[in-house]
């Protein structure tokens, strides 16, 4: 046999042996672990219309898609975009890291039966996937999960360690059940062309308030609290100020605050009252209140006296005064302007002598 023939024969044998090896490995995997036992992922997450989750203590949450990009929590609130994205990515990219060792199957199965979160995923309003999310592995490289047949309700007998390739972290934290945490935290979420007017009132300093009106063709006018329009204002500052209302969020819902403390906070006048009217005529408002300082030993550097108010955070009422929340000056401070902010020319305007 010539050397060329030997090379061709060897190449053919490599291909044949590779094919046989792949067939053997693939069939061994399918023969040992049936696909339906580890088929957790949902490839087409755009078809998911509802996700229901409940733990063994009866705590539950329902997430429903109202329209693309808009999910609702328990038929009441808009869901956080970032949290929904993390959950849907997890649902799509779930993969088996390894089966639970035979010696640990009984232990992990008992844990899943008593401490897991049941997840029901609906595609086009039909129950398509059911599985249980348990605890995380000790080394932090995966999360224990168990599949269930959505038609019969029969649970698999084999739990798996699940993970997302390229992601280092626990998956169980993405399946949380707290309604307050699922809620979108937006106070104002409007683009400039969605805003009709904005008013800012300072309860203790009425003369510092102002109002901004935006016409349909985006002509801006600013008036003081007596209704007198400004003859001059910096239009760039006004447009920038209006743009701030596109993404203003509270820090947290104050759901566990002591009732006496809440009553004490709200018994005092609001510091700021901001109202935004959208193009559909609906008014969205927030009332802010001073937050008593936690550490009463802090000395104010300006006055030399003990500080009584938190300089970083405030309390606020939103959603028609229904929700009591915590807000940060870092986020809201840019909204607390006074008329002089708009009437003082920028340094660039002063340099070139621009007149409005």
- The set of residues, in sequence order, having a beta carbon less than 8 Å from that of 250 and lying 6+ positions away, is 185, 187, 316, 318, 325, 326, 327
Beta strands in 105-194 (DSSP E): 117-123, 126-136, 143-148, 160-163, 186-188
In this structure, are 229 and 314 located in the same domain?
A: yes
pLDDT of residue 27: 43
Render pLDDT for 104-123 as a digit per residue (tens, 0 to 9). Answer: 999 999 999 899 999 999 99
pLDDT of residue 257: 62
Structure tokens at 87: 């959950």
In this structure, are 133 and 84 located in the same domain?
A: yes
In this structure, are 102 and 230 located in the same domain?
A: no
Residue 74 is assigned to a structural domain of this protein: yes
For residue 124, the enclosing domain spans: 36-179
In this structure, are 311 and 199 located in the same domain?
A: yes
pLDDT of residue 326: 95
Residue 3 is assigned to a structural domain of this protein: no
pLDDT of residue 255: 72
pLDDT of residue 8: 56
pLDDT of residue 9: 47
CA proximity to 192, closest of 156, 231, 219, 161:
219
pLDDT of residue 354: 41
Give the chain's residues under pLDDT 70: 1-36, 256-259, 295-305, 346-356
pLDDT of residue 28: 40
CA proximity to 143, closest of 131, 154, 155:
131
Give the count of domains, the chain.
2
pLDDT of residue 309: 86
CA proximity to 316, closest of 258, 283, 274:
274
Terminal-to-terminal C-alpha distance of the chain: 95
In this structure, are 147 and 41 located in the same domain?
A: yes
- Scanning 233-352, the segments in alpha helix (DSSP H) are 235-243, 259-266, 329-332, 339-343, 347-352
In this structure, are 46 and 172 located in the same domain?
A: yes
């Amino acid at each position: 046999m010539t050397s060329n023939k030997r090379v061709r024969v060897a190449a053919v044998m490599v291909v044949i042996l590779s094919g046989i090896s792949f067939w053997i490995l693939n069939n061994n995997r399918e023969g040992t672990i049936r696909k339906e036992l580890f088929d957790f992922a949902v490839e087409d997450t755009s078809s998911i219309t509802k996700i229901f989750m409940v733990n063994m203590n009866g705590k539950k949450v329902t997430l429903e898609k109202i329209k693309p990009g808009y999910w609702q929590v328990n038929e009441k609130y808009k869901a956080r975009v970032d949290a929904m994205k993390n959950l849907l990515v997890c649902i799509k990219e779930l993969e088996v890291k390894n089966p639970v060792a035979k010696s640990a199957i009984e232990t992990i199965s008992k844990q899943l039966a008593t401490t897991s979160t049941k997840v029901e995923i609906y595609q086009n309003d039909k129950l398509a996937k059911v599985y249980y999310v348990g605890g995380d592995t000790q080394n932090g490289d995966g999360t224990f999960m168990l599949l269930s047949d959505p038609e019969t309700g029969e649970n698999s007998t084999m739990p798996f360690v699940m993970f997302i390739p390229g992601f280092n972290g626990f998956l169980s934290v993405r399946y949380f059940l707290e309604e307050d945490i699922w809620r979108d935290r937006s106070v104002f979420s409007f683009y400039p062309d969605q805003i009709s007017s904005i008013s800012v009132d300072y309860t203790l300093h009425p003369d510092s308030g102002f109002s901004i009106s935006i016409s349909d063709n985006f002509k801006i006018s600013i008036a003081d609290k007596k209704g007198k329009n400004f003859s001059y204002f910096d239009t760039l500052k006004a447009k920038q100020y209006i743009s701030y209302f596109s993404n203003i969020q509270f820090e947290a819902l104050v759901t566990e605050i002591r009732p006496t403390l809440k009553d004490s906070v709200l018994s005092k006048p609001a510091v700021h009252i901001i109202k935004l009217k959208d193009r559909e005529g609906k008014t969205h408002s927030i009332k802010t209140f001073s937050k008593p300082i936690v550490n009463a030993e802090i000395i104010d550097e300006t006055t030399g006296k003990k500080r009584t108010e938190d300089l970083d955070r405030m309390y606020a009422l939103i959603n028609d005064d229904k929700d009591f929340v915590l807000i940060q000056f870092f986020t809201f401070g840019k909204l607390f302007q006074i008329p002089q902010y708009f009437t003082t020319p920028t340094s660039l305007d002063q340099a070139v002598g621009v007149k409005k």
